[in-house]
A and B are shown apart, each in its own frame.
Chain A
């Protein structure tokens, strides 16, 4: 009996320390701080290390060059930071454009059945083709470079979010309290901004953040394949594709550290998005 009680006590103790909301909040804040540090350091880092220096070429990782140096003697840590910074801003731009497209389409589809059919067809069309193929096509058609990558990523990543938002709008529109609101003489604009938008906002924020990892990875992928950014830009994809040529000669640090940093950044965004969803999703959190 005494043993049983002790066990129960331990159980309750274990759960007390783990308030899921608090946990999600702390993790989200930690992820935001990490990402901001990454961006700020990337923006203000000393670019002297990027100068060609044949005295220090092909150095493996050491205390002076933590990520090692490449075949031109450039510091890989600084290149990686600059690359991540560029990836971040491409992610911001592409994800913002995607969210704008998704919101406009979900609102359009709520107007009438014909428009809804058009939007659904477009969603199916874009989701039916693998992202990377559409991405290469669009980026190539626009002549590559920053413009091609951003527009390509933005134009391929809206369907998932649009589908989600469209379903959400349709569900809310059929709720009884919308009818009540209409019958009280409220305009569609009033209902849209007071009833529907506050419901969509959490989905929008979470969708925006979860678009980042996709955008960044796809940017790196098409740059790696040679359809994206031009080679003088310090992008992670460029770094990785150049490192390919030196991997066989045993210079593992050229690919390992930049690739690993990219993974960490993507992971941080994913953690942030999933924890924010726990906090503000209408199904989970009511007291925002």
Chain B
């Protein structure tokens, strides 16, 4: 179980983004999270995935803290896949960074063998996002933080990606925290939907 307990964060000399934030994601559960822009959803995603350290509170997976040296069981998927891959690497190398290439995984994502020899600039956003997902789903990965991962994609690609994610959820007991503005999408895919405003206990 992914537990976020009493977590607080503020940018220096700015108002508190959130204080005493609590959230749990169970294995095999999709939690949808929506809220207005600029409220700190992405910052929270970064904290959960270990990109930023919270001012207080802790994030645990199965009651264990993550150590920097090992792969994080919580992986963050970014909104812009073209920035999340090294532009000088071929896609094969990009996938290999996540460890052994799992063939059935990239078949599931409909990644074509011929794409492996290409550079990121020669693929579309949807194709790149599928690579990012396949890369993040290492054997050690238990939770995925999906921060607006399909916002910039067309409805068809969006549906395709979420269909795979839903099947992975049952197959691997993957826990997913889906962050989006798209309430309709979240209602469709999530087991429960949370408003980010209700989640943060703003002191003012």
Contact = CB atoms under 8 A, between A and B. Distances in A.
A180 B132 CA distance: 10
A183 interface: yes
Contacts of B86: 177, 195
Interface residues of A, number: 18
B70 A175 contact: no
Given A180-B84, A184-B98, A184-B138, A286 B49 contact: no
A282 B88 contact: yes
Interface in B33-55: 49-51
Given A183-B51, A184-B98, A176 B83 contact: yes
Interface in B44-99: 49-51, 68-72, 75-76, 78, 80, 83-88, 97-99
A176 B87 contact: no
Interface of B: 49-51, 68-72, 75-76, 78, 80, 83-88, 97-99, 119, 121, 132, 135-136, 138
Interface in A141-192: 175-177, 179-187
A205 to B, nearest CB: 15
Name the prevailing secondary structure of the B interface residues.
Answer: loop
Name the prevailing secondary structure of the A interface residues.
Answer: helix
A185 B69 contact: yes
B72 A286 contact: no
Interface of A: 175-177, 179-187, 195, 198-199, 282, 286-287
27 contacts: A176-B80, A176-B83, A176-B84, A177-B85, A180-B78, A180-B84, A180-B132, A180-B135, A180-B136, A182-B68, A183-B50, A183-B51, A183-B75, A184-B71, A184-B72, A184-B75, A184-B97, A184-B138, A185-B68, A185-B72, A186-B97, A187-B69, A198-B88, A199-B88, A282-B87, A286-B87, A286-B119
A33 B86 CA distance: 34
Interface pairs A-B: 9 shortest CB-CB: A185-B71, A176-B84, A176-B83, A183-B72, A185-B70, A177-B86, A184-B71, A179-B51, A177-B84
Contacts, number: 49
A183 B85 CA distance: 13
A197 to B, nearest CB: 11
Given A181-B97, A183-B49, A184-B71, 17 more contacts: A175-B83, A176-B80, A177-B83, A179-B51, A180-B78, A180-B84, A180-B132, A183-B72, A183-B76, A184-B72, A185-B68, A185-B70, A186-B97, A198-B88, A199-B88, A286-B88, A286-B119
A195 B87 CA distance: 10
B111 to A, nearest CB: 18
A286 B138 CA distance: 28
Contacts of A185: 68-72
Contacts of A282: 87-88
Contacts of B72: 183-185
A176 B71 contact: no
Nearest to B122: A286
Nearest to B49: A183
B51 to A, nearest CB: 5
Contacts of B121: 286
